[in-house]
Structure 1
């Protein structure tokens, strides 16, 4: 048996290899081989085709402008150089003498090419397109992509540079920040504008390259940005400034009724507009609240329009760093509205007294009210910038009750003068002011009065001292207790000795009566009078002691011209005692005193001049003897004098 076919314990049969035969490829391997061969053949074919096309394109472009070249918007790529030059001359030649639009940021102007000597080198322009590229990728891209080739300009001198330097005087400026303001009721604004600086050399190159472009030349500018943003400024104009100045705002006020009561009000539930928010934020939605407002048809309603022509006094826009913010000046708003609503306010007045002769009558108190400015001024910004609501803002008031009511005045017991004193000194301007402050002052029972709290103190004014003296003595004679005063220290015939008072210190007293006191003060050019009105409860006895501590006045004799004699006065101390009684009961015994320094006595004397000898007169000539002989009825004749006689 053949060994190759034998089976047995030796294991499986091994294949028999015949000489001259090898393994055959599988069908899948043969298929993959055919696909690879096909791709290789296709790739080689495409490459060879592209190579042929590249060579053809390269040969065809000899003597032509590189494809994709564009001059001032005119396609010259792929054209023969001569044809391209003629096309440029035909299309751009007419523009050579036309003015060129120049833009330097926000500044625009025109340039006359002839004024700076600008002309075109047409061949040089085409030369700037360069040589035909050998890179096949570049040549392929040029089929769909154009490249701008700048004009090859001819500039003979520095006139273009001089022109740009002059232009920079207008084109260069610092950043202008945004601003908003009002011209009466018109909104005025400045939108932020970046600062700019013209780059002369770069702008010169831009002009030389693009001065024949259809849309002009954009010069090269360096910018300095502003801090404020244009969008934020426009938003403030739209949301704040224009609503504030564009519509009326009505403040619904009211006046009191004739009987002194408030007009009826209606309670409404509403949402007051919120103030304008910071830039970039939405306005808040206010909560509902209840408001009291008078009916607009009520005869006591007073509608007040916020004057739009004064909106700029109230609303301003202030730059805070990089943000422009609205500022609402509450003090300015109050100054604008206060005169307009003055008629709706009522000045409160305490009950007072009027005096006629020896009788007093009560002037009734008047309740007052003033505008509640706090809530009004807080609500004003929201209402003023509201663009949806009716723009009506109710005005609330704060009542003021009188400190002295009519009932209290009627119970005060002001019936008659209980103390009165007059000082024969005319009331000057300062004294008149003190009198006006003192008149009508009410001192309730048991209360203390201080003149300095009402009028202040005045030094060195005799007229003011007269007011202080009259007040003190009226209180002194009324029986008032706790007397406070300081003497003048100067004696004067118009002032009571021992009872004078200076206005440079306080004058005070306490009303110890069971009823009130009222001061009635008046003054004229010759006297000051103060009365205390009330109900007489006391009997007052006043006695003046003889002068004590006498000090003789010094006598001074003056012989100088213009001397004014003065009788002077001796110094002394004056004491006055007051006894106050209520029926048989002695309430108090007081002694007041004043010490006066002596006043120098001045005597004026005129000294007689010393006698002087009279100068001798001229010497009389010796008498001439009269030797004439006169006989009545005969002519006069003389006897000659004999010698020796």
Structure 2
């Protein structure tokens, strides 16, 4: 009998349907889990992801952003140090427009993917390091670096060359520095935020006067110029200019192109040479006026003979770069004509312009005061003021010293008479003023006393204080004016000789704003008695006329303080 093979039985139809349903359910379950896993992993940053060492793996972007913001705060806000050679400067990154861009850093790091490999990588440590993104406001950065540049800048320093005690001295020129704002901003931008210390890009700035020019000038010009004396031969005489004298005659000049050269004081050189060669040089003499035994005479002009300055300067400058015998030069002389000639003097019409007499207190008690007047008049007598020149009484009397012949006498100080050197010279000053007033000359400066002194013309008197108060007038005529003055009994007599141009009228106004003087007692041994003088204001007018027609009118208003009567009660008071 034939055997039958054992074959599996086919499941019945209903069983196939069950298997299919179970399989479908399993697929649906597994598929839903896969979907959920993909969704979950897509919203999380892959494990192993870090930004600047901060692990953000497995976190949501929002949580990662908060973590990075906290952990990287110091990195974002720490000062940036800029090194410029040996100096350091700082900028605030916030002010400089530097900021972290965390949104850009985390952009695209998450997202749903159903790729098994992507999903598996997000589960394992496959995230890696994310580059930290930053935002730079370039304008703000360059502004911050520009402020550093202002602090870091060093101005170049020009050296100097000068002469001292016959030697050449100098200081060196020094480079400055300047920070390159754009390049330094590039360096900061490239390094930040990983590096908070960068090297600034600085360049040297050159001084206008190069050190090489200083060294050339010292070696080729200044040094040789004072290496030895220069001899100047004029005729049979020789003037020797020492290195120290040469140094005083030289100044260092810097051109607009910053080249150095020597400048020679030609007038000073001529003065030294002429002073040493008195027999060779003779100054010209102008025609003028003089007193001859009390009589006014015209003095003759004289042609002068002086060293030829142009040739002297030219040859002297050449000798400054020479050595040995070439430092001796020979110069001739030239004639110098007077500026006021005898022909000019022939046109002068010299006569008495004005005379003024001023009475002064005499006697033994005023002997010192009288002596000062006599000495002062001696310095004024014979003075000649040429046309256009100005007479200064302070310069004529000065210095007011015992060596010049002055003694102590009463002077006015703060409205009181006190002892002082040169007391009484105000009487000389008042006499000068009134003579110039009556001569019709141009009055430039005069100062009345603080209180009125009855022996002087009211409103027409002048004190003097060398260095403080002067008495000046200008010769506004075409001829010289000579001052002749002397003592006659108890009066000063002063006459101006010249060519009078105007007739003079004086109008004295009434006294106003009168203040009555009081009385004081002084028991000091230095007390000087004085009489009371009321204070007041007064205006005096000078009218100048020519040929009956008024030419000018000038008014002078004077305020006099009240001066108390001083009674000296000390028996030893003077």
| TM-score, with length taken from structure 2 | 0.40
| TM-score, with length taken from structure 1 | 0.36
> Whose radius of gyration is greater, 1 or 2?
1
